[in-house]
A and B are shown apart, each in its own frame.
Chain A
């Protein structure tokens, strides 16, 4: 009989290691900002933003098992809320030439941090309003309903010209999102969601994912837990929306920007990383950000085996969706599956290595 030993590190040790790791990351980011060119800094920033989006979606989809396709709706709300709050009053007057902006918004300007927090709160309120009725549904019905909600948000943005500037979108946002904002918020996201997942609350969520009826029988208030998870996920989606808007410096209601294609991109990240793993979502976000930047090559003229291939627009999404389908068919586990990369798992990995020798 083989006994598998799984040793746990003392909690103090883990906290210490985490602090060291965070300090190390700060140092690395600092060095990156000093040494790397703007192109790579932009990608690093994007990884931070995608990380928040992916972790919050995997919290809803993978860990709680609410298959939501409405993430882009929350991101859109966050993006528009914070953009409207940070734009200067002159800029607003210039942009809203179709119809003037309605009253309270046209005369306020806030700093980036408070605008971002308000963006998250707005997304959370929306999630509560959406989740309350629709979380009674399950599986594919819930998926299509949340997709419907995100589409409703997009159509409202398109039509409420006196608030959102309609199809023209908001342009000329200040580029507040430097490398620090997304990575700082990412740290907050991972800490909050990570500690939620490892608490008794997270175990209840996983029980709901595995079998809602059995969870109910064990005395878990299924709807309340799901609703809380949904709202927390949406809050961070709103935060990421704010960062995203101030990274793009423009936001508009096209499906590519805040529609189904954005949700699809985040879905690629979390499926690639393993549906139900926070660290997996982070890996997925990093791979996706680099891959999708790198794939810009296929949309410019390039040479393949000595044959000149002309620029084909749309090729990037074709390659990405092909990868996505192949991952789903052959490697559904993704990088991490449902397990997490923790200090304990790293420690045990090295222990096993030593035992083998």
Chain B
């Protein structure tokens, strides 16, 4: 297949879309890592749970689709808060590796919980059953055909990111979050309720993952208990590429990774099956040569 301009633009649109989704999930990883230095393995599974909440909100509770989505996002946020309270809070003073192991356990727990409650058979998240058919209409812009869904996803992603940046940089809780990521003990001495702020961080990160999950399912309408694994890992990689701990970095990393993946498959279709490998190779290269990522602060190992 020859790479013509329209095909290139088409892939560009796809890359931006995938990148936006990665960015949404990556932000949650990055926020938690920035504060606790913990890779929240369960993040990808909160993403999956959020999608299931939306699915059952529409099909079982017969909510209007937009209300179901909002409820699901809030549900994912609450789930994130609970995960922190139950699994991570008791281990705050334990060696860091213990929290990591628990996080892996939590991830498997959520996956198997989803298999037990929702069943292992994939569910279809397609219009018109879940959301109006309007979104899957094609829009002709010049020689490129783009789904309305693309604009919707990008719009929502942009809105959420703007909200988040406002929240972290302009509110008191946001200030507390930034303070905790610098020095948790001192922040506690300043009279900040550290546990509450960490809980809120988890809730916000998880709500974003839930939103990401729903948007992901609109684009790739296959909901199953393991759907969060790969996007979760990729989003983590995106967060590392951009510089983990930084919101702007997570965004940048997300868009970069999405774009690279789509473009590599577009230019080298023979290697489409190896698509998931690219991300890991990029991760390894970044970790070896610039472990702090593109925008991350340099971390020195303390003796």
Residues of A within 8 A of B (CB): 67, 69, 133-134, 136-141, 143-145, 147-149, 151-152, 155-156, 158-159, 213, 255, 260-261, 264, 267, 271, 312-315, 317-318, 321-322, 324-325, 328-329, 332
Contacts and interface: CB of A to CB of B under 8 A. Distances in A.
Contacts of B109: 318, 321-322, 324-325
A264 B288 CA distance: 26
B102 A141 contact: no
11 contacts: A133-B284, A139-B97, A144-B236, A144-B283, A145-B283, A152-B280, A155-B273, A318-B115, A318-B116, A321-B106, A324-B108
A264 B226 contact: no
Given A143-B100, A317-B108, A213 B283 contact: no
Contacts of B236: 144
B227 to A, nearest CB: 13
Contact of B277 (A152, A255, A264): A152
A41 to B, nearest CB: 29
Given A140-B39, A313-B115, 16 more contacts: A133-B288, A137-B287, A137-B288, A140-B37, A141-B287, A144-B236, A144-B240, A145-B283, A151-B280, A152-B280, A152-B281, A213-B303, A255-B226, A261-B108, A315-B116, A318-B109
A156 B276 CA distance: 10
Contacts of A136: 288
A216 to B, nearest CB: 10
Interface stretch (B63-71, B86-94, B132-140, B255-263): B86-94
B39 A329 contact: no
B257 to A, nearest CB: 13
B155 interface: no
Mostly helix, strand, loop or mixed at chain B's interface?
Answer: helix
B96 interface: yes
A151 B276 contact: yes
Interface string B261-288: 0000000000001101100110110011
A324 B101 CA distance: 9
B283 A148 contact: yes
A138 B96 CA distance: 12
Contacts of A317: 108, 111-112, 115
Contacts of B91: 328-329
A137 B97 CA distance: 14
Contacts, number: 114
Interface of B: 37-39, 87, 90-91, 94, 96-98, 100-102, 104-106, 108-109, 111-113, 115-116, 120, 225-226, 229, 233, 236-237, 240, 273-274, 276-277, 280-281, 283-284, 287-288, 291, 301, 303
Contact of B113 (A144, A318, A324): A318
A155 B39 contact: no
Contacts of A314: 112, 115-116, 120, 225
B120 A149 contact: no
B288 A155 contact: no
A314 B225 CA distance: 11
| Smallest CB-CB A-B distances: 3 pairs | A314-B115, A148-B280, A317-B112
Contacts of B98: 328, 332
B113 A143 contact: no
Nearest to B236: A144
B277 A260 contact: no
B68 to A, nearest CB: 25
Contacts of B301: 138, 213
B291 A137 contact: yes
A354 B224 CA distance: 60
Contacts of B120: 313-314
B251 to A, nearest CB: 20
A271 B109 CA distance: 16
Contacts of B116: 312-315, 318
A137 B289 CA distance: 11
Contacts of A261: 108
Nearest to B301: A213
A137 B274 CA distance: 25
B274 A159 contact: yes
Contacts of B102: 325, 328-329
B276 A324 contact: no
Given A264-B104, A312-B116, A329-B102, A145 B87 contact: no
